Amino acid sequence: MHKNNRKKRIKALLFAIIFFLVIHYLVGLGVIKSFPEIHPVVENATISLAIICAVLLARSFLEQLIDNMEQSEGEKYNLQRIVKLISWVVISLVIISFFFQKPYTTLAGLGLVSLVLGFALQAPITSFIAWLYIVFRRPYKVGDRIQIAQHKGDVVEVSYLDTIIREFSGDYLENDRTSGRLIYFPNSLILTGRVINYTGTFEPFIWNETAVQISYTSDLDFVESCLKNAVVQDFKEKYPNLSLKGNEPDVYFRINNYAWLEAVVSYPVEPKDTTGRRNRILRLALPMLNAAPDKVGFPEGSKR
């Protein structure tokens, strides 16, 4: 449907360009003799409209080219935003040149307006500069899971002035499930604080860990083996075409504040699957641990 709309728009813009150019040259050649006093205005208006339609046509072709590129959705999104920005800047210049025929007066007027707007719109201008930083430095893009200030979520839109993320965890959840809320924050926020991007160099994975409470009398080697086997089994079932080589799970032990041991297994996981992967690992590991009560003890009563 989107492609069909774009084709219709391209055809309409081509027709509009031809129409305005025909009117422009008919007026210029004197074929149209009615209302001669407005002929200069009509000539300028028609050529300006033809240029605007040409800019929109070029933007449509570029957007179609970007859609066909083998890039991530986030990179395509940023490229399309840049194309839209450039097209609107060119269109604005065409409109300004139509209304202000004297260039020096135009520049002076624009300078005065820019000075006033610069003071009045400091926050939006800062957010726009931050948008340029986001596009070229790429601290995050659409589809990334990020944390900025106290906000955590998946980036769904990066506009010229603000960013929208789909929140996960939040005030009502203690896991990585989406809360159903959208968070809007100004782009300028990234210039004054840190951004944590869960989609890092280890893409698509990050490291996470899960703890199991056991007694001091447990066979630590056996517990470590069970946890590692559970992680490897789940990874193979989830990613049959990937290998854990170089990123094998690891297990360490620590003393809990309530006087029992914790066996902690660390493993690679996709940022949006931390809760699901933890549940699957526990479902695989606990039956193995419970099947050997002579090797694994769990905190119960005075047993520590």
Residue pLDDT, tens place only, 60-97: 888 888 787 766 676 777 778 788 888 888 888 788 77
Q: How many CB atoms lie within 10 A of CB 114?
A: 9
Instruction: Give the pLDDT confidence score for residue 34 in this predicted structure.
Output: 65
Q: How many CA atoms lie less than 13 Å away from 80 in the CB half-sphere? A: 21
Q: How many CA atoms lie less than 13 Å away from 288 in the CB half-sphere? A: 18
Instruction: Give the pLDDT confidence score for residue 112 in this predicted structure.
Output: 58
Q: How far apart are CA 294 and CA 290, in angstroms?
A: 9
Confidence of residue 285 (pLDDT cuts 50, 70, 90): very high
Q: What is the DSSP string of 200-254?
A: -TTTT-EEEEEEEEE-TTS-HHHHHHHHHHHHHHHHHHH-TT---TT---EEEEE
Confidence of residue 231 (pLDDT cuts 50, 70, 90): very high
Phi, psi at 158, each rounded to 5°: -125, 100
Instruction: Give the pLDDT confidence score for residue 267 in this predicted structure.
Output: 94
Residue pLDDT, tens place only, 112-164: 556 655 665 677 778 888 988 998 888 998 888 999 988 889 999 998 888 99
Are 171 and 151 within 8 A, CB to CB?
Answer: no
Q: How many CB atoms lie within 10 A of CB 77?
A: 19
Instruction: Give the pLDDT confidence score for residue 268 in this predicted structure.
Output: 92
Name the residue type at position 281: I
Over the chain, what is the mean pLDDT? 83
**pLDDT above 70: residue 37:** no
The residue written with tokens 């090797």 in the block is 295
Instruction: Give the pLDDT confidence score for residue 120 in this predicted structure.
Output: 57
Are 280 and 267 within 8 A, CB to CB?
Answer: no
Tell me the residue length of the chain: 304
Instruction: Give the pLDDT confidence score for residue 114 in this predicted structure.
Output: 63
What is the per-residue burial (b if ≥16 Cβ within 10 Å, else e) of 143-172? ebbbbbeeebbbbeebebbbbbbbbbbbee
Q: How far apart are CA 127 and CA 123, in angstroms?
A: 6
Q: Is 135 or 303 the better-scoring residue by pLDDT?
A: 135
Rounded mean pLDDT of 181-189?
Answer: 91
Q: What share of the chain is helix, strand, coil (3-state, %, to 5)?
A: 55, 20, 25
Q: What is the DSSP string of 85-106?
A: HHHHHHHHHHHHHHH---HHHH
**pLDDT above 80: residue 195:** yes
Instruction: Give the pLDDT confidence score for residue 1 in this predicted structure.
Output: 43
Contacts of 211 (CB under 8 A, 6+ apart): 262, 263, 264
Q: Taking the mean position of all CA atoms in its chain, how far away is CA 109?
A: 38
Range with the largest mean pLDDT of 40-54, 83-97, 122-136, 182-196 = 182-196
Residue pLDDT, tens place only, 236-284: 999 999 888 888 899 999 988 777 899 999 999 988 888 899 999 999 9
Name the residue type at position 234: D
Confidence of residue 111 (pLDDT cuts 50, 70, 90): low
**pLDDT above 80: residue 23:** yes
Q: Is 303 or 274 the better-scoring residue by pLDDT?
A: 274
